Amino acid sequence: MFQRGISIEEIQETLNKGWDADDAKEGILGKVFIFSYNEQWEEKFFEEKEVTVYYKYKAEKFILLTSKARYGKNFLRKERR
C-alpha cells in the first residue's frame, strides 16, 4: 500500500466514506473513494487520487486483502451505498 502511495488514513477514510467497488469479486468486499490530491506522483502532477480497498471478513475478523490507487482527474464519483 505504501508503494502505491496510500496511507493508513486514506484506507480508513475509504472504508468509512467510500462507495461499493463494482469490480469486487464474489466473496470479497470493496470500497472506492476519491481524494483531492494536487501533488506530484512519480514526477507527474495529479489533481485527484482514487483509492480502492478490497477486504473480507473471516469469522467476523476484518482482513485487508489489497488496495490500489489511480492518479488523475475527473474520476467518476458514485453515491455511497
Query: Model confidence over 47-60: pLDDT tens digits?
Result: 999 999 999 999 99
| H-only helix segments in 18-60 | none
Between CA 79 and CA 70, with CA 72 as vertex, the angle to 5 degrees is 75
Residue 76's pLDDT is what?
84
Dihedral sign for Cα 22, 3, 34, 53, please. positive
Name the pTM for this structure: 0.90
